[in-house]
C-alpha cells in the first residue's frame, strides 16, 4: 500500500488529485496540506512513506 501526502498551494489541484487517486486500491491519501510547515506536521503524525 502506498501512503501518500499531498502538498500544494492551490486547493483546486489538491481536490483534483484526491479525486483522481481516491479509487486506486493501492494508494491511500493520508492528508493534503497547503504549505510546507503543515506538510512537516502531517508527515510526522502519519508517516506516509511506510
What pLDDT is attached to residue 46? 84
Which helix (H) or strand (E) is 37 found in, with range?
A: helix 36-46
CA 47 remoteness from chain centre: 11
The per-residue pLDDT string of the chain (50 residues; one tens digit each, 9 = 90 and over) reads 898 999 999 999 999 999 999 999 999 999 999 999 999 999 888 876 65
Helices (H) then strands (E): counts for the chain: 2, 2
**CA–CA distance, 25 with 17 (Å, rounded to integer):** 15
Total residue count of the chain as it appears in this document: 50
CA 40 remoteness from chain centre: 12
Q: Provide the number of structural domains found in the chain.
A: 1
Range of the domain at 32: 2-46
**CA–CA distance, 18 with 28 (Å, rounded to integer):** 10
What pLDDT is attached to residue 49? 63
Amino acid at each position: 500500500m502506498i501512503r501518500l501526502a499531498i502538498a500544494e498551494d492551490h486547493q483546486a489541484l489538491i481536490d483534483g488529485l484526491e479525486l483522481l487517486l481516491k479509487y486506486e486500491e493501492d494508494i491511500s491519501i493520508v492528508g493534503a496540506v497547503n504549505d510546507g510547515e503543515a506538510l512537516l506536521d502531517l508527515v510526522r503524525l502519519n508517516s506516509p512513506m511506510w
